Amino acid sequence: MVGGRVVAASGRAVSRLARPLWWPLWRGQRWVAGHNDVVLGLGALVMFVIGWSTIQISHDVPASLMPVLALAEAVPLLFLRRAPFVGWAVAVAVSVVWWALVPAYFSSPMPWPVVQFLVLLATIVAVGLWGRWREIPVAIAATGVLCVAALPDDLKPWALGQALVMGVALLVRWLVLSRRQIAVQKEEVETERARRAVVEERSRIARELHDVVAHHMSMIVVQAQSAPIRHGLSDADVVGEFAAIEGSARQALNEVRSVLGVLRDENGPVETAPQPDLAQLPSLVKASKAAGMPLTSRLRLDPAQVPPGTALVLYRVAQESLANAARHSPGAAVELTLEEDSGWARLMVRNSAPPAADNVRANGGESDQPRGQDGDDETGGNGIRGMFERVRAVGGTFEAEPVGAGFVVIATVPLTGRPQVAGLG
């Protein structure tokens, strides 16, 4: 367990050290994905500047027309994301203008400037990535005819080359669509797996309620009914007290059985299952203090930041830890802390030695109170083993060990990257 804690802590430390290396690239990618128009505008500006400065290398153009033709070359880039077919049509029209009206030098290998040809290829790629399916064959055919008609013989294979460029764009488009479908299917599988986990948890709770609570409540009812007869009691007040105990126990038993009916209904909505979360943790602390536990708490984590499944795990760990402290170390001071640490939620429940333990050691003996080191106990609870499995199920780390004369439980779970399925637990 200590090795696991060291590995987890070192992993988080390495992650923090490596963060500056990839963080700017990741932020830049996020920014580009959210500002497509700005990126295309900058690209168009760059192509405008390059086109203006290189037009006279291949074409005899008056200086007054250079910015106009450079602007015509760059404009199609502005349509790539929102209307790729319109951008392609504008690029083809500008190419026809260059070919028909603007004379190129004899040494120029093609009738268009290099910038115009690159923009035309970019529009073809954009149609393949984002255009409608009926627009794709139109773009391939029209561009092929333009290449055959305008390009010299040694460059006419570009009529096939532009079709290959379109094919690569379609392949990328197919891969992206496949990844999205896989992501949707994976999410559905994770949702179904979470739903099955909910059903299994409900079944386990139902078994525990039936085997432990319902059994003991039934015994209380039987004992309350038979106590006046077994002890020969005839006083009306005493019999009435036993009858009141029997009525309360029977009512509680009926409520337990109604809860069992809800939990055992696997086809029922998940939302009907018990779903405690961190919003109920202050109530748990208040109830523990009202029961006489010397408990101090520091809750510094907003419950809204915690996914439902993770919140349930933290609540269960806190609930089980407080129950173990009350059962195994009665009278001991208990400290409960819940806080956030760099995207992780850290829950710590620590109890000191019970007052009786100090007296026993002072007399030279050992305390006979178990402190919860074992995984299970005879009362039907899950103990440390159950808390460990719950925390591990949400990708967290768990520690439980004696500290001095007391005991400490620490659960650290991630606040991101977990399935946030409504009703998990």
pLDDT tens across 61-100, in order? Answer: 888 889 999 999 999 999 888 899 999 999 999 999 999 8
Work out the pLDDT band at 380, boundaries 50, 70, 90: very low
DSSP calls for 6-66: HHHHHHHHHHHHHHHHHHHHHHHHHHHHH-HHHHHHHHHHHHHHHHHHHHHHHB---TTTH
Mean pLDDT of 139-148: 94
How far apart, in whole angstroms, are the C-alpha atoms of residue 166 and residue 214? 70
Pairing of strands 295-300, 344-351: unpaired
Tokens of 136: 């794709």
In this prediction the pTM is: 0.45
Residue 58 has a pLDDT of 86
**Phi, psi for residue 412 in degrees, rounded to 5:** -120, 120
Top-ranked range on mean pLDDT: pick from 139-148, 214-223, 245-254 = 139-148
Contacts 24+ apart (CB under 8 A), 366-373: 369/328, 369/329, 369/330, 370/328, 371/328, 371/329, 371/402, 371/407, 372/324, 372/325, 372/327, 372/328, 372/407, 373/400, 373/402, 373/407
Higher pLDDT, 363 or 149: 149
DSSP state of 270: G
Pairing of strands 397-403, 406-414: antiparallel
Top-ranked range on mean pLDDT: pick from 83-87, 280-284, 392-396 = 83-87
pLDDT in tens, 228-237: 776 676 677 6
Beta strands in 199-291, from DSSP E residues, in sequence order = none
Starting at the edge strand that comes first in sequence, how are the strands of the sheet with 295-300 ordered?
A: 295-300, 334-341, 344-351, 406-414, 397-403
Mean pLDDT of 142-157: 92
Tokens of 406: 């007391």
Whether residue 312 has pLDDT greater than 70: yes
Residue 349: beta bridge partners? 336, 409
Whether residue 373 has pLDDT greater than 60: no
- Nearby residues of 410 by Cβ (< 8 Å), 6 or more positions away: 346, 347, 348, 398, 399, 400
Residue 239 has a pLDDT of 66
Tokens of 358: 């100090």
**Angle of the 308-328 helix axis to the 281-290 helix axis, nearest 10:** 10
Residue 284 has a pLDDT of 82
Radius of gyration of the chain (CA): 37
